[in-house]
Chain A
Amino acid sequence: MTTTTKKSSTGASGDGPAPMQRTLLTGSLPRYFAPALLAGVAIVTGGLLFALGTFSIPLFAVFTVVTYTVLVTLASARIESGRKAKDRLVTAVVYTCFGLAMVPLISLLWTVARMGVVRLDGYFLTVSMNGVTPTMDAGGVYHAIVGTIAITGFAALVSIPIGLMTAIYLVEYGRGRLKNAITFFVDVMTGIPSIVAGLFVVALWMVFFGPGTTNGAAGAVALSVLMIPVVVRSCEEMIRLVPNELREASYALGVPKWLTVVKVVLPTAIAGITTGIMLAIARVIGETAPLILTAGSSAVAINWNLFDGQMMSLPVFIYSQVRMGDAINYERAWAAALTLILIVMLLFFVARLVSRFFAPKFGR
């Protein structure tokens, strides 16, 4: 075997065509080969499926991808080398994986948008379900929006100080066993199933307020259990990004440590912290299971009082409508889901914008 090129000198398994003097260009498919082949395969499978009268998008996609992958691998093995063929196979598979992940996302967003707009209007957003029987062509989610705002707001009020102070502890003060323990258990806490957080509050409320006490505050506490570790993680990451030089500059001016943290570290990290907190809110605003257990799932009227009576929320509203199961209930559920997704996306994108445009530039 000749060893004139790098390719052949590595001598890997299944080398391609017969020994010959290779240049760097021999035995490689042209750049346009893969896209051209894909297009060709798509046209042929599409045509065949139409001819057979069994065309559907999933079927078309599956046949096209499989045929393309097989063909490109075979062609490469024939013209290039076994090694290259394997590389092409993996490339096709990796691209397919990525495509596969896009399918549910697009399908979900599209379905929710299509089904949601049927009922989502000003009326739907501004009336409650008070006095509406399940199958009546009326009613809306105002009470659920109120509940979502109240419960999530209260949860944020509880979680942000605890989470932020813990993050400050971990970065600025913590050392030794306590720091390691907190770091580890915060990680563990991010994995608590949301329903368990709900049960915890059920058990807690049973002890303090008697069995069966449901109110918004209980829901908020359950959400806090889920939210605190997320806040800690993102704040910790952001505070860690603040260069040590800034802390030292402050100490050297005779500023005590706590004022350095409050007036130098936090303002420098504030954009990132805000982003993290908004993402944490986006995470818990769609929590359903703990709220079914703690804030109830049958409230129909507007209730701003966290400490008295059941409170509906958008996610629980979706769930309970689905449980009722009539067409009108599904319409309401889709519209509420669209509302919820819009809120989450809004939080999500505003958070990104904040981090993009308000992060301080560290000079230089």
Chain B
Amino acid sequence: MTTTDSSATPQTPKGKRRIGDVVFANTASGSGILILAILAGVAAFLIIQSVDSLGANTANFFTTTGWDANTREAPAFGVAALAFGTVLAAAIALLIATPIAVGIALFIAYYAPRKLASVLGYIVDLLAAIPSVVYGLWGIGYLVHQLTPFYQWLSTSFGWIPLFAGPVSSTGRTMMSAGIVLAVMILPIITAISRDVFLQVPQAHREAALSLGATRWEMIRMAVLPFGRAGIIGGAMLGLGRALGETMAVAMILSPALVISPHLLQSGNQTIAAHIALQYPEATGYGVSALIAAGLVLFAITLVVNMGARYIVARRKEFTE
């Protein structure tokens, strides 16, 4: 490449370069640049195609809850309810999944026998490989029926908390169900990242703790958790990114309504992604463009969350290397 030749003999620029090398190197870097272009293209095309409807929108896009976009005359739509639902579903999923995922990661890293640990690695990967539509089918076709009695109990015992207020949906097609299925779906990624970080904890730190007579839990608390905190946070944020963007599980399970409601055991609420999937086939007028605008919001949210997560995980890496 452009390293030595020029400095050795400053008067001439470069030695001979072979045609094969030039073509190959340029194809390789061209592919990389193409990826940047695709990502830029995603943003650009979403913006271009959403301008149309946003210009015609007669309501405030960010504060309106309704979705009256399938018309050419005075559309009025907004993402307020959708954004709320998206964050709510993801928050439920994250609250359930993170502690369990950290527990599994600790189990794989420090509790399970070596052989079992690698099998568990497989199983976590397998959990990640199951298509989301199958999770959705399992959720709607099986899980919601199992959960309804539990919801009944939750509502009678803790109904005074608004989150669990009745009347409980008889179908179980609620935000809580969607959140639980999302939690199962994001378990693998949080587990995988936490486990990787735990395994990076220098042996010396761990042995130092153990040689002081610490119990396994004390070793984890003293040596592993402080070291792995950024990794757990980063992993959780990646899980959050996935939960925010997950479509099928919510679209299939939730019985939607464009409202902002805190009642997790009743039907209602809706997420951006599920709304797009459900509305798109019937969209007319400004409909498609309005959905693209909603998609742009989702894209922006997940972009911020993912970049934050990557930043945290990457900084963690620099520390350890």
Contact = CB atoms under 8 A, between A and B. Distances in A.
Verify whether A and B have any Cβ pair under 8 Å: yes
Interface of A: 6-7, 9-10, 12, 58, 83-84, 86-87, 89-91, 93-98, 100-102, 104-105, 107-108, 111-112, 115, 161-163, 165-166, 168-170, 172-174, 178-179, 181-182, 184-197, 199-200, 202-204, 206-207, 211, 225, 228-229, 232, 256-259, 261-262, 279, 282-283, 285-289, 292-293, 297-298, 315-316, 318-319, 322, 330, 333-334, 337, 340-341, 344-345, 348, 352
Contact of B273 (A282, A289, A333): A289
A182 B42 contact: no
Given A96-B103, A196-B295, A258-B21, A203 B45 contact: yes
Interface in B2-61: 18, 20-21, 23-25, 27-36, 38-39, 41-42, 45-46, 48-49
A256 B292 CA distance: 48
Nearest to A8: B213
Q: Pick the most buried of A100, A191, A341: most chain B CB atoms within 10 A of its CB.
A: A191
Main secondary structure of the interface of B (DSSP, over half): helix
A172 B244 CA distance: 35
18 contacts: A10-B212, A58-B146, A83-B218, A84-B215, A90-B220, A97-B106, A107-B143, A169-B31, A170-B32, A173-B25, A192-B302, A195-B276, A196-B298, A257-B21, A283-B129, A286-B131, A322-B140, A341-B131
Contacts of B106: 94, 97
A108 B135 contact: yes
Contacts of A259: 20
Contacts of B161: none
Contacts of A337: 133-134, 137
Given A83-B215, A191-B241, A256-B18, A344 B130 contact: yes
Interface stretch (B70-78, B246-254, B262-270): B246-254
Question: Which 3 A-B residue pairings sit nearest by Cβ, starting from the closest?
Answer: A286-B131, A193-B245, A97-B103
B107 A286 contact: no
B138 A111 contact: yes
B138 A185 contact: no
Interface in B277-293: 277, 280-281, 288, 291-292
A348 B132 contact: no
A196 B46 contact: yes
A288 B131 contact: yes
Interface residues of B, number: 97
Contact of A256 (B21, B34, B36, B107): B21
A65 to B, nearest CB: 13
B100 A297 contact: no
A344 B46 contact: no
B137 A318 contact: yes
A197 B244 contact: no
B247 A195 contact: yes
A328 B292 CA distance: 34
Contacts of B130: 108, 286, 341, 344
Contact of B217 (A87, A179, A204): A87
A319 to B, nearest CB: 6
Given A101-B104, A193-B298, A341-B130, 7 more contacts: A93-B103, A97-B103, A173-B25, A196-B245, A289-B251, A289-B273, A344-B129
B299 A333 contact: no
Contacts of B132: 286-288
A204 B41 contact: yes
Contacts of B208: none
B95 interface: no
B141 A94 contact: no
Contacts of A6: 213
A104 B52 CA distance: 44
Given A111-B142, A161-B31, A185 B248 contact: no
B208 to A, nearest CB: 13
A256 B137 contact: no
A202 B295 CA distance: 11
Contacts of B23: 258
A348 B130 CA distance: 10
Interface in B88-136: 99-104, 106-108, 111-112, 120, 122-127, 129-136
B135 A200 contact: no
Contacts of B46: 196, 199-200, 203
Given A200-B41, A340-B131, A195 B298 contact: yes
A122 to B, nearest CB: 22
Contacts of A182: 32-33, 35-36
A87 B310 CA distance: 33
A97 B104 contact: yes
B298 A318 contact: no
A206 B298 CA distance: 20
A203 B292 contact: yes
A341 B134 contact: yes
Interface in B143-189: 143, 146, 184, 187
B205 interface: no
A285 B218 contact: no
B233 interface: no
Contacts of B302: 191-193, 196
A193 B134 contact: no
B246 A193 contact: yes
Contact of B42 (A105, A192, A318): A192
B218 A12 contact: yes
B247 to A, nearest CB: 4
A341 to B, nearest CB: 6
Contact of B35 (A86, A162, A173, A194): A162
